Amino acid sequence: MAGQEVFAAGTPSLLRAINERSVLECIRRTGPISRAQIARRTGLSKPTVSQALSTLERSRLVRSAGRTSGGKGPTAVLYELNPTAGWVVGIDVGRESVAAAVSDLTGRIVAEERRPVRPRSSKALIGSIGAVARAAASEAGIAWRKVTVAAVGSPGVFRAAGHPVLAHNLPRSPGSSWVSRSGRSTSRPRTPCARRGSRRRSFPS
Protein backbone atom coordinates (compact mmCIF):
# COMPACT_ATOMS: atom_id res chain seq x y z
CA MET A 1 0.00 0.00 0.00
CA ALA A 2 1.34 3.43 -0.95
CA GLY A 3 2.70 5.40 1.97
CA GLN A 4 2.79 2.40 4.28
CA GLU A 5 5.95 2.16 6.36
CA VAL A 6 7.99 -0.97 5.72
CA PHE A 7 10.01 -2.62 8.48
CA ALA A 8 12.99 -4.81 7.62
CA ALA A 9 12.94 -8.32 9.06
CA GLY A 10 15.96 -9.81 10.79
CA THR A 11 18.09 -12.07 8.65
CA PRO A 12 18.61 -15.69 9.75
CA SER A 13 22.29 -15.02 10.48
CA LEU A 14 21.42 -12.01 12.64
CA LEU A 15 18.79 -13.97 14.56
CA ARG A 16 21.27 -16.81 15.13
CA ALA A 17 23.84 -14.34 16.44
CA ILE A 18 21.29 -12.80 18.82
CA ASN A 19 20.29 -16.23 20.11
CA GLU A 20 23.90 -17.27 20.59
CA ARG A 21 24.58 -14.07 22.50
CA SER A 22 21.58 -14.72 24.75
CA VAL A 23 22.67 -18.29 25.45
CA LEU A 24 26.27 -17.22 26.11
CA GLU A 25 25.16 -14.49 28.51
CA CYS A 26 22.87 -16.92 30.33
CA ILE A 27 25.76 -19.37 30.77
CA ARG A 28 28.10 -16.59 31.88
CA ARG A 29 25.67 -15.42 34.55
CA THR A 30 24.29 -18.73 35.83
CA GLY A 31 26.55 -21.58 34.67
CA PRO A 32 27.10 -24.43 35.08
CA ILE A 33 23.64 -24.84 33.61
CA SER A 34 21.81 -27.48 31.56
CA ARG A 35 20.28 -27.12 28.11
CA ALA A 36 16.73 -27.29 29.50
CA GLN A 37 17.50 -24.65 32.13
CA ILE A 38 18.91 -22.34 29.45
CA ALA A 39 15.71 -22.75 27.43
CA ARG A 40 13.56 -21.86 30.45
CA ARG A 41 15.66 -18.84 31.44
CA THR A 42 16.00 -17.37 27.93
CA GLY A 43 12.57 -18.30 26.56
CA LEU A 44 14.21 -19.91 23.53
CA SER A 45 13.08 -23.28 22.23
CA LYS A 46 15.22 -26.33 23.03
CA PRO A 47 16.19 -26.85 19.35
CA THR A 48 17.30 -23.19 19.16
CA VAL A 49 19.35 -23.57 22.35
CA SER A 50 20.92 -26.76 20.99
CA GLN A 51 21.90 -25.01 17.77
CA ALA A 52 23.40 -22.07 19.68
CA LEU A 53 25.32 -24.37 22.03
CA SER A 54 26.73 -26.29 19.09
CA THR A 55 28.14 -23.08 17.59
CA LEU A 56 29.47 -21.84 20.95
CA GLU A 57 31.17 -25.16 21.64
CA ARG A 58 32.82 -25.17 18.21
CA SER A 59 34.07 -21.65 18.96
CA ARG A 60 35.39 -22.87 22.35
CA LEU A 61 33.41 -20.13 24.13
CA VAL A 62 31.57 -22.68 26.29
CA ARG A 63 32.47 -26.15 27.48
CA SER A 64 30.96 -29.13 29.23
CA ALA A 65 31.11 -28.96 33.04
CA GLY A 66 29.87 -32.43 33.99
CA ARG A 67 26.31 -33.66 34.38
CA THR A 68 23.40 -33.02 36.71
CA SER A 69 23.05 -35.31 39.73
CA GLY A 70 20.67 -36.04 42.58
CA GLY A 71 17.43 -35.78 40.64
CA LYS A 72 15.05 -38.29 39.14
CA GLY A 73 15.33 -39.39 35.53
CA PRO A 74 18.28 -39.16 33.14
CA THR A 75 21.09 -36.74 33.83
CA ALA A 76 21.79 -33.71 31.63
CA VAL A 77 25.02 -32.13 30.43
CA LEU A 78 25.98 -28.90 32.20
CA TYR A 79 27.63 -26.03 30.36
CA GLU A 80 29.91 -23.26 31.59
CA LEU A 81 31.85 -20.37 30.09
CA ASN A 82 35.32 -21.33 28.90
CA PRO A 83 37.45 -18.74 30.72
CA THR A 84 40.49 -19.34 28.52
CA ALA A 85 38.67 -18.70 25.23
CA GLY A 86 40.05 -15.15 25.31
CA TRP A 87 42.36 -12.92 27.31
CA VAL A 88 42.17 -9.25 28.25
CA VAL A 89 45.08 -6.98 29.13
CA GLY A 90 44.49 -3.83 31.18
CA ILE A 91 47.28 -1.25 31.15
CA ASP A 92 47.57 1.55 33.70
CA VAL A 93 49.79 4.50 32.74
CA GLY A 94 50.63 6.28 35.99
CA ARG A 95 52.82 9.23 36.85
CA GLU A 96 55.93 7.17 37.54
CA SER A 97 55.09 3.66 36.42
CA VAL A 98 53.26 1.53 33.86
CA ALA A 99 51.36 -1.50 35.10
CA ALA A 100 49.54 -4.26 33.26
CA ALA A 101 47.29 -7.10 34.34
CA VAL A 102 46.05 -10.09 32.34
CA SER A 103 42.64 -11.62 33.03
CA ASP A 104 40.56 -14.41 31.56
CA LEU A 105 36.98 -14.00 30.34
CA THR A 106 35.62 -14.30 33.89
CA GLY A 107 37.71 -11.33 35.04
CA ARG A 108 40.12 -13.46 37.10
CA ILE A 109 43.57 -11.86 37.06
CA VAL A 110 46.25 -14.38 36.16
CA ALA A 111 49.34 -12.15 35.98
CA GLU A 112 50.48 -8.61 36.76
CA GLU A 113 53.51 -6.55 35.83
CA ARG A 114 54.63 -3.09 36.98
CA ARG A 115 57.70 -1.13 35.93
CA PRO A 116 58.90 2.35 36.86
CA VAL A 117 59.00 4.71 33.87
CA ARG A 118 59.66 8.40 33.33
CA PRO A 119 59.30 8.78 29.59
CA ARG A 120 60.65 11.93 27.98
CA SER A 121 58.87 11.32 24.70
CA SER A 122 55.71 9.68 23.41
CA LYS A 123 57.84 7.14 21.56
CA ALA A 124 59.51 6.06 24.80
CA LEU A 125 56.11 5.80 26.52
CA ILE A 126 54.69 3.66 23.71
CA GLY A 127 57.67 1.35 23.97
CA SER A 128 57.19 1.01 27.74
CA ILE A 129 53.49 0.24 27.34
CA GLY A 130 54.18 -2.49 24.81
CA ALA A 131 57.01 -3.98 26.87
CA VAL A 132 55.01 -4.10 30.12
CA ALA A 133 51.91 -5.54 28.42
CA ARG A 134 53.88 -8.27 26.71
CA ALA A 135 55.80 -9.05 29.90
CA ALA A 136 52.52 -9.54 31.77
CA ALA A 137 51.25 -11.89 29.06
CA SER A 138 54.53 -13.81 29.18
CA GLU A 139 54.25 -14.10 32.96
CA ALA A 140 50.80 -15.63 32.47
CA GLY A 141 52.21 -18.07 29.92
CA ILE A 142 50.04 -16.60 27.16
CA ALA A 143 51.29 -15.93 23.64
CA TRP A 144 50.53 -12.33 22.73
CA ARG A 145 48.61 -13.41 19.63
CA LYS A 146 46.03 -14.97 21.97
CA VAL A 147 45.23 -11.64 23.64
CA THR A 148 41.75 -10.63 22.50
CA VAL A 149 41.77 -6.96 23.48
CA ALA A 150 43.85 -4.50 25.49
CA ALA A 151 42.70 -1.31 27.24
CA VAL A 152 44.77 1.66 28.40
CA GLY A 153 43.91 3.82 31.41
CA SER A 154 45.58 7.05 32.48
CA PRO A 155 44.73 10.10 34.61
CA GLY A 156 43.38 12.88 32.46
CA VAL A 157 40.74 13.97 29.99
CA PHE A 158 40.72 12.48 26.49
CA ARG A 159 38.87 13.02 23.26
CA ALA A 160 37.09 10.03 21.76
CA ALA A 161 40.00 9.29 19.41
CA GLY A 162 42.42 9.05 22.33
CA HIS A 163 44.03 12.49 22.06
CA PRO A 164 44.75 13.83 25.57
CA VAL A 165 43.08 17.15 26.36
CA LEU A 166 44.48 17.29 29.87
CA ALA A 167 47.02 14.66 30.96
CA HIS A 168 50.03 16.04 32.81
CA ASN A 169 51.81 12.70 33.08
CA LEU A 170 51.77 12.00 29.33
CA PRO A 171 54.33 13.46 26.93
CA ARG A 172 52.88 15.38 23.99
CA SER A 173 52.31 13.21 20.93
CA PRO A 174 52.05 15.05 17.60
CA GLY A 175 49.97 13.48 14.84
CA SER A 176 48.09 10.34 15.76
CA SER A 177 47.03 9.78 19.35
CA TRP A 178 49.30 7.91 21.74
CA VAL A 179 46.46 5.43 22.31
CA SER A 180 46.32 4.43 18.64
CA ARG A 181 50.12 4.34 18.48
CA SER A 182 50.29 2.10 21.53
CA GLY A 183 47.73 -0.15 19.83
CA ARG A 184 50.02 -0.48 16.84
CA SER A 185 52.96 -1.27 19.13
CA THR A 186 51.11 -4.26 20.56
CA SER A 187 49.19 -5.22 17.39
CA ARG A 188 45.94 -5.53 19.33
CA PRO A 189 42.73 -3.47 19.54
CA ARG A 190 43.21 -0.84 22.21
CA THR A 191 40.62 1.24 24.06
CA PRO A 192 41.32 4.52 25.90
CA CYS A 193 40.08 4.63 29.49
CA ALA A 194 40.38 8.00 31.21
CA ARG A 195 40.43 7.86 34.98
CA ARG A 196 40.75 10.25 37.88
CA GLY A 197 43.61 10.13 40.31
CA SER A 198 46.92 8.34 39.94
CA ARG A 199 46.04 5.57 42.42
CA ARG A 200 42.88 4.18 40.88
CA ARG A 201 43.52 1.00 38.90
CA SER A 202 41.84 0.31 35.59
CA PHE A 203 42.33 -3.45 35.75
CA PRO A 204 39.34 -5.83 35.79
CA SER A 205 38.24 -6.84 39.26
| 97-142 pLDDT tens trace | 999 999 999 999 999 999 998 877 778 888 888 999 999 999 999 9
pLDDT digits (tens, 9 = 90+) for 160-177: 666 666 666 666 654 445
Which pLDDT band holds residue 91 (cuts at 50, 70, 90)? Answer: very high
pLDDT digits (tens, 9 = 90+) for 7-28: 677 788 999 999 999 999 999 9
Could you tell me the domains of the chain? 12-83 (1.10.10.10), 86-195 (3.30.420.40)
Separation of alpha carbons 12 and 19, rounded Å: 11
Percent of the chain with pLDDT over 90: 51
pLDDT at position 195 is: 43
